[in-house]
Structure 1
Amino acid sequence: MKKIIVVILIFLFHSVKAQVEKDIAIFHRLLILNSQNELMVVNIENTDFWVTPGLYQTKKQHSKTGLDSIASTYGIELKNLKLHGIFLLQRELNEKHSTSLRIVYSANIKDGKIKLPNGIAEVKWLSKNKAKELISFPHINMIIEKIMTHPDEIWGGTLLQFKENDNWKAKILEEFYAL
């Protein structure tokens, strides 16, 4: 029943949001855990940015297909895929404002050997706390903290991402709430 309500909320949100903002981006973030319960973090090629794997959904791609494609580009298969949250991320960067929908999942590795996909310079497996120290964007850490502290809930909320003195910052605009 909970999953049905979440799906209905996603569709309702999309209809309302589509009337306000023409092309809202949908980003799927995947928290991949190995058998030692360590989190996969990746370094984006030619940057200092460390994040968890994810992808922007295209108009021709289904969510599950996209998540499977993340796994296959890293040479792995996933099990125990679980939805953990649906968040709005508002950005204020250099006079530009945008909003995207961030859908966050977790999964465990079922099989495979890690390989580096195009655009990724390095992959690390770290404890959740060490991963949060390395991840470059505070909004990702805020979401991970909530999800890892309360893994049996599906969360919603709104975050703001911005830069202050060339440092990435984030703040919660709408407190996280259980869906």
Structure 2
Amino acid sequence: MKKLFFVVLYLLPVMLFAQSTPDKAVKADNYTILRLLMINQQEEILLVKYKTGWLTPSLRYNENQSIKGALDSLAREFGYEITVPQLRAMVTFQFDFKPVVSIRTHYAAHVSGGKLKSPKDVAEVKWVSRKEAETLMSLPGTEAVDAIRLTTMQILNHPETIWGGSFLVPETGTACRMPEPFYAVGRSK
């Protein structure tokens, strides 16, 4: 009986630790955001006015589907078919207020068919020039972090390069710091 008591006493902390470890992993909430830079025949960019401001279309990637399938589905939400999406940037968002990291991947694709429609959860959608995209994404009152605009403009200004980088996202405000400035990780087609 004494041996059984010591075995249970020894195993109890091990079992409790093993049960709590998955919970901590789940609470970390690391995730990927896919952004899609859709380009039409006039070389305009599709921007969406979300609650946080004007941005490229995006989705939180956590469904059981391929990246291409997710991006095709995102394009269809706006009424379009697209060419095969090409990776243009992969950056990390580190947060100064929580111990997680989020990966943001940016893809570019040309529209191959369809007609613009506005999904119900967005205020407005429109095609804009590259210059107008930068202006809209910088408007006062924009609540989205500036890292999205900075990465989008880096891609538009240097479309032949695939970019990496890292942003430190503040708990308040929109200005991010870049512990790892943009760097080339590859060449696009």
Indicate the TM-score class for this superposition, using the shorter chain for normalisation: 0.7 to 0.9
Counterpart amino acid of residue 129 in structure 2: S
Aligned twin of 2:165:
157
Amino acid at match of 2:45: L
Determine which of 72, 75, 79 is the counterpart of 2:79. 75
> What SS is found at the alignment partner of 1:60?
coil
Pick the aligned partner of 1:134 from 118, 133, 136: 136
Distance 2:110 2:84 in 1: 6
* Aligned match of 1:31: 37
| Aligned counterparts of 1:81 and 1:48: Cα–Cα separation in 2 | 25
- Return the letter of the residue paired with 2:102: S
- Equivalent residues, number: 154
Indicate which of 153, 173, 180 corresponds to 1:174.
180
Match of 1:106 in 2: 108
Deviations 1:72-128 (A, max 9, x none): 111100015211111101234xx4454210011111111101111131121021111
Q: CA shift at 1:163, angstroms?
A: 5.7
8 Å Cα contact 1:25/1:57 also seen in 2: yes
d(CA) in 1 for partners of 2:83, 2:43 = 13
The equivalent of 2:49 in structure 1 is 43
Instruction: Name stretches of at least 5 consecutive residues in structure 2 with no aligned partner.
Output: 1-24
Percentage identity across paired residues of the two chains: 34
2:130 & 2:99 partners in 1: Cα distance?
A: 31
CA contact (8 A) 2:28 2:100 kept: no
Contact kept, 8 Å, 1:163 with 1:169, in 2: the verdict is: no
- Aligned partners of 2:94, 2:70: CA distance in 1, in Å? 23
Q: Structure 2 length as normaliser, TM-score?
A: 0.74
Report what 2:13 is aligned to. Answer: none
Unaligned runs of 5+ in 1: 1-18
Question: How far has the Cα of 1:23 moved from its partner?
Answer: 3.6
**Structure with larger Rg:** 2
